[in-house]
Each structure stands twice: as C-alpha cells, then as structure tokens.
Amino acid sequence: MIPVTGVEGRSIAVLGLGRSGISAARAIRAGGGTPVCWDDGAEGRARAEGEGFETTDLTRSGAFEGVAELIVSPGIPHLYPRPHPVVAAALAASVPVDNDIGLFFRSVGVEGLPKVVAVTGSNGKSTTSALIAHILQEAGRPVQLAGNIGRGVLDIDLPGEGDVVVLELSSYQTELARALTPDVAVFTNLSPDHLDRHGGMGGYYAAKRRLFSEGGPDRAVIGVDEIEGQFLAGQMSEGAGDDRVIRVSVERRLPGPGWSVVARKGHLAEWRKGRQVGSIDLRAVKGLPGSHNHQNGCAAYAAARALGLSPKVIEAAFHSFGGLPHRSELVAERNGVRFVNDSKATNVDAAAKALQAFERIRWIVGGLGKEGGVAALEPYLGSVTKAYLIGHSAREFAVQLTSIPVEICEDMATAVDRAAAEAEPGETVLLAPAAASFDQYPDFEKRGEDFKRLVTELP
C-alpha cells in the first residue's frame, strides 16, 4: 500500500467504494487522514463499514463542512453529461475534487523515486501496459502494473529508487487527476468513445492530452496514425529532431531526423537520426496477432527503449509474451476452426482492427451499441463470411450490415452454437462485439468468459 501524503489530521471524502475507492480509503487512513465514505449502493457501504470506515451520506446538506477534499471513483461522472450530486455539492462548497491517480502521483513523488510509465489512448492500453511490464520483468527490472488494469494504484507496494510502475490510465482518470507526473507517457491512438462523459470528441481528446500537457514527461511515446496524435506530437516537441518524442506508426515510414518506431507488413523498425537502429519480425510473435497488436508492440518497444533497454532484450521478451485475455485471445481450435475471443473490442475502431487480423470470419457482434452503431465497419467486412448478432442492438446492427449475411441470435449461446455449426475448416469464429456489454453482462470480461465457456462446452 502507498500511504497518501498531505492528509494527516484531515477529513477526506471518498465517493464510490469499488476497487479504487476502497483502496483510496485505506491509503488515506494509512497516511493519517480520516476517510468519510459514501456509495450509492448499500453493498459498497457495507463493504466499507466492514473495514471500519465511517460512511456518511454526502448528498445531505452540510455534508462537506470540515471536509478537505473529495476523491471520486472513475465510473462516477464529475462533469458530463452532468456531475454526480455529491460532486456538484463538493464543487459548490469549494472543496477540491481528485481521484486515486492524483493521490498516487503526489504521494510517490514524496515517498520514493521510481520511474513511472503511464499509458493512455482509446484502444490497446491494456496490452501495451502489460507488455511494457512483461519486458521489464524479463529484463530483471523491479516492476509493478496497476491503474485501470490489475491492482488499484494505491494498493501496490511502495516503490523505491530504481523500481518501475506501469500505469494504464483511462480518460476518466487522466481528466480528473490533479497530479500527473509520469517519466514516460504513452498515447496509443484515438477513436470515438465515452463521448457522453467528455462532452464530445474534443473533450475526450483533451482528457487524454492532460497526461502530456500537465504531466511534462521526460519522454512521450505517441501514436501518430490519427490527426490528434500528430497534433499532440507537434505540441510536445521543439522540432523534427527532438528525441523527447518517439512517434509510432503502423501505416507508414515516418520521415525526418526524429526518433520513431514503425511497423509495416509485420516488421518493426526503430529509426533515429535517419538511420535504422533496431528491428523485430513481429509475425513470429504469437502474443501480438494483427496490425493493431503491432501498434501496441511498437508503443511498448518505444517505452522500453526510453527506459534504456536494448532491442535484443525487448525482442526476447516479446516472444515470451502470452497476450491478455479477451484481446484477440485464441480460445480453441476444433476441426480446423479457430475460436477467438476479442470481447474487449467494445467500439467500432477496436472491432475494425480485429476484423483485419483474421481471414474467413464467422463474426459474433452486438451488445449495447454506441452512437453510430456499426455502419462505419462496412469497409472492413471483406473477410466476414457471416455475422451472428446478439444483444440489445442486434436488430439495429442487422439493418446496417447490408453487404454480408446476418443472423439474429439474441444471446451468446445461440450465436456460438450457430457459428460453430456452420463454420468450415480454415475459418475463424471471432467474438468482436463493437458494443458495450452492459445489456447482458456486467463487463466485457464476463462476456468473454461466457464465450470461452460455451466454446469449451461445444460437442
């Protein structure tokens, strides 16, 4: 645990008592503060009370008298589409609002001197973060992985000098954190997502950008295959040759004298001052299938190089990386048919990348659709033999998918049975929903686990 600094003798309100909220309350108490906890759900309040924390209804009048600040869990709106009533009350009372990420950065800066690598972006954050941590571990560097993946950021062991902390950070976390000081910051890519929480695409980009503009990292690894990444790289650099910015692309060779890592046709190449200084054949790396994973590999490679690791050490670690669950995860191969779980493909951009990674696809798609549905996937359907539609948006998606055969299956069990029955040797049954899971599952992990269970139970 990392005790929070600067809270001794102060009352700190904590809103939301899930993983990050409870860990924040523990860390505040360890730092000598008094957590005042609240959750809209009785289960969360009971969990906190079971650990001896005081719970107080923060929606009541006068609840913020004597409270120094409010710590908010990432799932709770603090600005758009409208602030949670407790957040609104704190702002009205001039009480600062922060989150566990802000507490981490302000506390680690005092208590230890680790290197911190922070990864954000729309897609690929988890794989990139896990791969960076894996590379460091294989290289013998003390490393901990936390944030939006694995452990809560304040639950990790207090790092010391020479240690590395790798953080996956969502836009919810980067937007609110009052302290952001990573040594290496990584921006994978940007595509429309969570727009209701950020008031549109501009607000979403601004939330990601804070990690760089507020954080002032020593090195910035930035994917430049979208205009937002190109703009961010331009803002962070003093010129074309400024090697504090490492540009990443899987679409083209990047010109100029700067530092870049690119992947084309499965080959990663590192360029510095106009010369190639490292390369890896990514086609042989089983844990990174498809161009989207090649982008993740490039970003992780760049971050590891920024920390001083050699190309040979990084390449060896790539080959021992097994990938993450629910992200292009090969579940089984039966009678020449592969079953792949990409439940994490919760938006159109992620689904497009999954559809480009495989040939002859039986596609399981659907759930709680996002704005625009799946119409934007039309250019990526060339490898799809048939789509099997599930969930709340099944009929809406069926109307949009006019160029391929579709079947409305409603639920996962029916979709898996139908796809498996019709699949021929050499085909891939791919779960890439292009939608949220909340209509039928609590999260994308549970959706992916259901898919995997059903595949293992096939006759």
Alpha-carbon torsion (237, 239, 245, 249), positive or negative: positive
- pLDDT exceeds cutoff 70 at 111: no
The mean pLDDT value for 76-105 works out to 96
> What percent of the chain has pLDDT above 70?
99
Answer yes or no: is pLDDT of 322 > 90: no
Give 32-75 pLDDT, tens digit per residue: 999 999 999 999 999 999 999 999 999 999 999 999 999 999 98
Q: Report whether 127 belongs to an annotated binding site.
A: yes
From the list 276, 239, 261, 267, the residue with the least C-alpha distance to 306 is 261
The three-point CA angle 170-172-174 to 5° equals 70
Q: What are the structural domain ranges in the chain? A: 11-98, 101-319, 329-456
Sorting pLDDT into bands at 50, 70 and 90, what band is 110? low
What band does 280 get if pLDDT is binned at 50, 70 and 90?
very high
Contacts 24+ apart (CB under 8 A), 49-54: 51/22, 51/25, 51/26, 53/25, 53/29
Q: What is the model's pLDDT at position 207?
A: 95
- Is position 310 annotated in a ligand binding site? no
Got the DSSP string for 226-285? SHHHHHHHHHH-SSTT-TTEEEEESSSPPPSSSEEEEEETTEEEEEETTEEEEEEEGGG-
Cis peptide before 405 (omega within 30 of 0): no
> Is residue 122 annotated as involved in ligand binding?
yes
| Topology adopted by domain 101-319 | UDP-N-acetylmuramoyl-L-alanine:D-glutamate ligase (3.40.1190)
Q: Are strands 267-272 and 275-281 parallel, antiparallel or unpaired?
A: antiparallel
CATH topology of domain 11-98: Rossmann fold (3.40.50)
Residue with token string 């690119």: 262
Dihedral sign, Cα of residue 150, residue 299, residue 191, residue 382: negative
Q: Are 50 and 25 in contact (CB under 8 A)?
A: no
pLDDT digits (tens, 9 = 90+) for 172-192: 999 999 999 999 999 999 988
In contact, 432 and 354? CB cutoff 8 Å: yes
First to last CA, the chain: 47
| 223 among annotated binding-site residues | no
Q: Is 415 helix (H, G, I), strand (E, B) or coil?
A: helix
Q: Is 124 annotated as a binding residue?
A: yes
Residue 380, pLDDT > 80, answer yes
Other Cβ atoms closer than 10 A to 186:
35
Burial of 43 (0-12, 13-18, 19+ CB in 10 A): exposed
Digit-coded pLDDT (tens) for 247-275: 999 999 998 899 999 999 999 999 999 99
pLDDT for the residue 112: 53
Sheet architecture: strand order including 267-272: 143-147, 164-168, 115-120, 184-187, 219-223, 245-249, 259-264, 267-272, 275-281
What's the full length of the chain, in residues? 459
Mean pLDDT of the chain: 95
pLDDT at 324: 83
Per-residue model confidence as pLDDT tens digits over 123-149 = 899 999 999 999 999 999 999 999 988
Q: Is the pLDDT of residue 449 over 90?
A: yes
Span 329-456: which CATH code? Answer: 3.90.190.20
Read off the pLDDT band of 371 (50, 70, 90). confident
